[in-house]
Amino acid sequence: MGRTTSRSEPAGAPRVTVLTGAGISTDSGIPDFRGPQGVWTRDPQAAQLLERGPYLADPAIRRRTWQMWRDSPVWGARPTPAHRSLVDLERAGLLAAICTQNFDGLHQRAGSSPSTVLELHGSLTWTRCLFCDSRERTADVLARLDVDPDPHCALCGSPLATGVVMFGEALPGDVLDAAVEAAATCDVFVVVGSTLTVQPVASLTAVAAEAGARVLIVNAQPTPFDRMADRVDRRPIQESVPDLVAELLTGP
């Protein structure tokens, strides 16, 4: 699939799309989910807190889930050098999009443009009604948990949930479409800190490879898509990603 060069993009420069997973944020103090020491690896039952069916059916699960969000290390986390290096890529006019599986908002806090960050699994920043889709800031909901441990919608009375996509829910279609387009039209597709086991996001790697992009995978553990990669880097993310960005900025 062809593309045109934008006015902000240097002529002949590679167009880069990045897919980030939980691994880019672990050095911020946010544990991943499926890694060797991941939240769900150590406690498989914890995944139930993000399943739509049980969440709707059981007030006790909803209360536990809200306590989990209130206690999450996300709120005190700071962007890593890897997050910040992607900002350099954007400022140089090379970055098409950051397709992220994360809901921690660290790309935006690092300085990435909100329009560049495609939050495929939603965001913890806002909270929604599960039926009428009214919204409010998650921070406001968390502030009243002591008196309202199972918050419901003020408009329709239905349970509230954060903007994080739950198991049993579809990914936001417009965001997924934009991610597919970014994967299909890039010259370089970089995967950072993802196990590439969660669909449909993992398949973005195949979309990029089949469209002719160079695929670079930065992840400590093997992924199902390593065979498609032009390069696999097992080094620590905070070392390898800034090095990779420097390489892309200087060109061949």
114, pLDDT greater than 70: yes
Domain map (residue ranges) of the chain = 11-30+80-121+171-252
pLDDT at 42: 55
37, pLDDT greater than 90: no
pLDDT at 5: 35
Task: Name the pairing type of β-strands 16-20 and 117-119.
Answer: unpaired
10, pLDDT greater than 70: no
Q: Which amino acid is at 173?
A: G
pLDDT per position as a tens digit, 125-160: 999 999 998 999 999 999 999 999 999 999 999 999
Q: What is the average per-residue pLDDT within 30-53?
A: 65
pLDDT at 49: 81
For 2, the token pair is 């062809």
pLDDT at 183: 98
The answer to whether the CB of 25 falls within 8 A of the CB of 106 is yes
pLDDT per position as a tens digit, 73-112: 999 999 999 999 999 999 999 999 999 999 999 999 999 9
Task: Domain 11-30+80-121+171-252: give its CATH code.
Answer: 3.40.50.1220
pLDDT band at 43 (very low <50, low <70, confident <90, very high): low
Pinpoint the alpha helices (H) of the chain: 39-42, 52-57, 59-70, 81-91, 106-110, 138-143, 173-184, 204-210, 237-250
pLDDT per position as a tens digit, 187-213: 999 999 999 999 999 999 999 999 999
pLDDT at 31: 77
Sorted by sequence, the CB contacts under 8 Å of residue 197 that are 6+ apart come out as 34, 223, 224
Give me the active site residues, please. 121
The helix (H) or strand (E) run that includes residue 34 is none
Q: What is the mean pLDDT of the chain?
A: 90
Nearest residue to 25 (alpha-carbon basis) of 44, 42, 38, 40: 38
pLDDT per position as a tens digit, 168-190: 899 999 999 999 999 999 999 99
Global pTM value: 0.88
**235 or 6, greater pLDDT:** 235
Long-range residue pairs from 168-175, CB within 8 A, at least 24 positions apart, any chain:
168/51, 168/52, 168/53, 169/52, 171/120, 171/121, 171/200, 171/201, 172/120, 172/122, 175/118, 175/119, 175/120
